Amino acid sequence: NYLLYGDEEPLAVIAIKMVSEKSGIGWTTWAHTAIPVPIRAKGVNQEKFDGYIDNTKIPKLILEAMDISQ
């Protein structure tokens, strides 16, 4: 199993693959990086989405731009 899944749990790998295929998304890595990601937006509140932002902050900014509280 190590050759197929490395250090990852086989059931988790298969489940993630199924969900990814169903939703039409793909992953390029199993690892996370701690670097900000480039983001741009056009429209209302676009200034909040300009430059490099920590990826965990993006959903919060979207909610804020939509005036939705968590």
Q: What is the pLDDT of residues 9-31, one digit of tens each?
A: 888 888 888 988 898 887 777 66
Amino acid identity for residue 4 in this structure = L
Q: Which of 27, 37, 42, 28 has its CA nearest to residue 59?
A: 37
Amino acid identity for residue 31 in this structure = A
The CA distance from 29 to 5, in Å, is: 13
> Given a cut of 90, is residue 69 above it in pLDDT?
no
Instruction: Give residue 70's pLDDT band: very low, low, confident or very high (50, 70, 90).
Output: low
